[in-house]
């Protein structure tokens, strides 16, 4: 991907987040991961994806926090836009439904209530075979 396209892609991702267009957010993220050379993947790929997403969200100027400790566990990622709060849980070779279920079961969303913004919980699954997002589910 030519360097000139990167800022535009980051801006598109930011706009999609701000518009609460998760379909577009994940379409862009899948494109980003599809362009990462396979040699760069780590032996602990869930952390690789988590780090890549954290860096991308931070680069976009979003308020992104990773590994946020709560009384019930640790949230993989929390992202705040001007109008919404996102709670994201990542899984590797499992399912987006399982990731979303963990958010609900451990009530991670409670840590975002103080913002007063609507909270969207998102479970994301990565595939080690395709080295990309293979499913996501929001609630």
The percent of residues in the chain predicted with pLDDT above 70, rounded, is 93
Token pair of 35 as six digits: 């362009």
Specify the pLDDT at position 103: 97
Q: What is the pLDDT of residue 44?
A: 63
The mean predicted confidence, pLDDT, of the chain is 88
Question: Is the pLDDT confidence value at 123 over 70?
Answer: yes
Give the domain ranges of the chain. Answer: 5-138
Q: What is the pLDDT of residue 8?
A: 80
List Cα–Cα distances, 113 to 54, 57, 80, 90, 104, in angstroms: 22, 21, 12, 21, 14
pLDDT band at 55 (very low <50, low <70, confident <90, very high): confident
Q: Which of the listed CATH numbers 3.90.220, 3.30.70, 2.60.40, 3.40.1350 matches domain 5-138?
A: 3.40.1350
Q: What is the pTM of this model?
A: 0.84
The model's pLDDT over 66-101, given as tens digits with 9 standing for 90+, comes to 999 988 899 999 999 999 999 999 999 999 999 999
Give me the pLDDT at residue 1, please. Answer: 37
């Amino acid at each position: 991907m030519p360097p000139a396209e990167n800022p535009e892609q980051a801006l598109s991702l930011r706009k999609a987040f701000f518009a609460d267009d998760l379909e577009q957010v994940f379409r862009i993220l899948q494109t980003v991961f599809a362009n990462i050379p396979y040699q760069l993947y780590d032996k602990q790929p869930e952390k690789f994806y988590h780090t890549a997403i954290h860096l991308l969200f931070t680069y976009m100027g979003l308020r992104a926090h990773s590994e946020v400790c709560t009384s019930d566990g640790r949230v993989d990622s929390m992202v705040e836009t001007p109008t919404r709060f996102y709670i994201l849980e990542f899984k590797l070779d499992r399912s987006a439904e399982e990731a979303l279920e963990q958010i609900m079961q451990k009530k991670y969303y409670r840590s975002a209530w103080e913002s007063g913004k609507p909270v969207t919980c998102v479970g994301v699954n990565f595939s080690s075979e395709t080295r990309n997002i293979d499913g996501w589910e929001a609630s």
